[in-house]
Amino acid sequence: MLKLFMRSFRGVAQLVEQRSPKPCVASSSLATPATKYNGLSMAKKRRYRWFRIIGFVLFFMFGLVNLGMFLVVMILEDERYIASLKPEIVDEQAPTIVLNGASETKVLVNSKYEEPGAEVFDNRSEPELKIEGEVNTSITGDYVIKYSAIDEVGNEAEATRKVSVIEPYRIIYLTFDDGPGQYTAELLDILKKYNIHATFFVTGAGSDELLKREYEEGHAIGLHTFSHNYSYIYTSSDAFWADLIRVQERVEAATGYKSFLMRFPGGSSNTVSRRYDGRSRIMTTLTREAGERGFTYFDWNITSGDAGETTSTDVIVENVIYQLKEGSSIVLQHDIKGFSVAAVERIIQYGLENGYTFMKLDATSPTAHHPVNN
């Protein structure tokens, strides 16, 4: 590049030299000052002056262009050199796929399977999660849902979920009212030990962390009013629904899930509501309005006796086992009572040893509705 620059300089210099006027030799003849100067006319002198100016301008511009090209080449070379100094990053860590809910689950034949999905995590990128497989709930059997993800360098990850479509035979639905409470964490540990999912009908009590844990560990969360105050919720339809919506909002804030499963305090057959409704037959109204508002309400067909009949763990176990059905058994217990929570492990063990399947409630489950008495 330097050689090219010098060659351009010499070329312009030669051009200027060729165009420059030669020195004049003294002559005895006198020239007219207006037309002759140093052997050249003024017009030629002005023309030669412009040649010099144009030559220097071209020389200067050409030099700048060459200098710019030189700098660009140097910058590119520096960048390539700097890039060569950077260590090559090797990513051998595959993405991690975390299933929402359990890796094995059961649904009843002719019910609806709702895919809970999964989340994918990676140390460098945000891979797309791919879900493959279908569950035909009209045919009993085992189905596999496959989850996969590939990161930006090609590392792959896979996970699977087994979904069993079963007949409604010997199904136990464990349900717990009035929590969360001081024994809820202990209950969750027992359920997790046996990979059993239950249904919690919650109130405004307890911590949001327990609500969140119930949901994240795959249990169903239903609504049991916020206050559980009979003298308030059963005074009017407006009072009841305002209180229920309040606990629905609490659950959604804690878990991100908006529940439409519910259980009336005292059950749909309760008569205590007569004390507060002004003879308006409020339970008849509320059971009708539940469906109109998109809610599914559940009663029970097995009572454990923990609501006032006994405080004995042994009696709780005997009550539940004795009443188990060949079809669907919806068991009523309370996770705010330690003696009742203490019975759960023995109930689970008996059920598993005798061919029962434990499931959580959903909108397609049996409801075990009681006769409405008010």
* Rounded CA separation 228/219 (Å): 21
Task: Please report the pLDDT score of residue 25 as a whole number.
Answer: 45
CATH code of the region 96-166: 2.60.40.10
Q: What is the pLDDT of residues 322-346, one digit of tens each?
A: 999 999 999 999 999 999 999 999 9
The CA-atom distances, in angstroms, between 281 and each of 132, 239, 245, 284, 371 are: 51, 15, 21, 6, 13
Task: Please report the pLDDT score of residue 100 as a whole number.
Answer: 87
Residue 17 or residue 201, greater confidence: 201
Which range, of 93-102, 185-194, 231-240, 310-319, averages the lowest pLDDT?
Answer: 93-102
Tokens coding 317: 């176990």
Residue 292 or residue 78, greater confidence: 292
Average of per-residue pLDDT across 37-43:
57
Which range, of 68-72, 206-210, 225-229, 252-256, averages the lowest pLDDT?
Answer: 68-72
Q: What is the pLDDT of residues 134-152, one digit of tens each?
A: 999 999 999 999 999 998 8
* CB-based contacts of 331, cutoff 8 Å, min separation 6: 172, 173, 174, 175, 300, 302, 303, 304, 320, 347
Which range, of 18-32, 55-69, 279-293, averages the lowest pLDDT?
Answer: 18-32
Cis omega before residue 127 (within 30°)? no
Length of the chain: 374
Domain extents in the chain: 2-21+33-85, 96-166, 171-358
**Is-contact 174 199, C-beta < 8 A?**
yes
Task: Please report the pLDDT score of residue 153 as a whole number.
Answer: 85
Task: Please report the pLDDT score of residue 40 as a whole number.
Answer: 54
Query: Taking 80 as the threshold, does the pLDDT of residue 5 lie above it?
Result: no
* CB-based contacts of 369, cutoff 8 Å, min separation 6: 268, 297, 298, 299
User: Please, which pLDDT band fits residue 347 given cuts at 50, 70 and 90?
Assistant: very high
Query: Taking 80 as the threshold, does the pLDDT of residue 24 lie above it?
Result: no
Answer yes or no: pTM beyond 0.75.
no
Residue 192 or residue 2, greater confidence: 192
**Is-contact 282 240, C-beta < 8 A?**
yes
Task: Please report the pLDDT score of residue 59 as a whole number.
Answer: 64
Average of per-residue pLDDT across 155-164:
93
* Rounded CA separation 278/264 (Å): 19
The CATH architecture of the domain made up of 171-358 is Alpha-Beta Barrel (3.20)
Query: Taking 80 as the threshold, does the pLDDT of residue 206 lie above it?
Result: yes
